[in-house]
Amino acid sequence: MTTSLDSFKSRRTLKVGAKNYVYYSLTAAEKNGLKGASKLPYSMKVLLENLLRYEDGNSVTADDIKAVVGWLKDKTSDREIAFRPARVLMQDLTGVPAVVDLAAMRDAMKNLGGNPEKINPLAEVDLVIDHSVMVDNFGARDSFKNNVAIEYAGASKLSPISAWFPPVPVSAIRSIWNILLKPSGCVSRRKARKPLKSLFQTPWLAPTATPP
């Protein structure tokens, strides 16, 4: 994670047990130059905190941060907000093409003599392969298990995805750094209860591991 320049002196540390967690306080930022920040709509406070956290003087500048609070004056702004989500949730229809792009870039990197493992998403991604499993077996206790096995066997023929996502029947596969794959038969993003709870996380923490 990029270390913020913290122009508005909002960086704070929260100690929980033996661990320390860094966060960026909007209350402190308001006292240190962002007057009116507390009057922003909640959704814009989320964006403001995100910019405070990622201020690097390049992709996010102090002026970018001020512009968010400046919205209060006319309730409009033409300035872009360099929002960086903590996690991107993708389903197979849009997620698989993105993975194909990553696989293609990895192949190109390998062909050029570089390290393909350097090609990774910048934000954490949950890719949910959630479409219905084809029904080849039915009427038996192990029908679902057999159908999922057939699904994985078919997935192994995919290319170039299979080179980076081997169809191993486990609940999560992290073949590309920063991608968590939820395979068929594991979870559905359409289910609003127990299955989807496996994707919930509060709060979000910066990864402790680093890519190759």
The domain limits of the chain are 11-74, 87-197
Q: What is the pLDDT of residues 152-211, one digit of tens each?
A: 776 555 544 544 454 433 333 345 778 877 766 665 545 444 455 566 677 777 765 566
CATH class belonging to 87-197: alpha beta
Q: What is the pLDDT of residue 198?
A: 60
Please give the share of the chain, as a percent, with pLDDT higher than 90: 41
Q: What is the pLDDT of residue 122?
A: 83
**Residue ranges of the chain with per-residue pLDDT less than 50:** 159-160, 162-164, 166-174, 189, 191-194
Q: What is the pLDDT of residue 154?
A: 65
Q: What is the pLDDT of residue 172?
A: 32
* Cα gap 61→7, rounded to integer Å: 9
8 Å CB contact between 8 and 32 = yes
* Cα gap 51→40, rounded to integer Å: 14
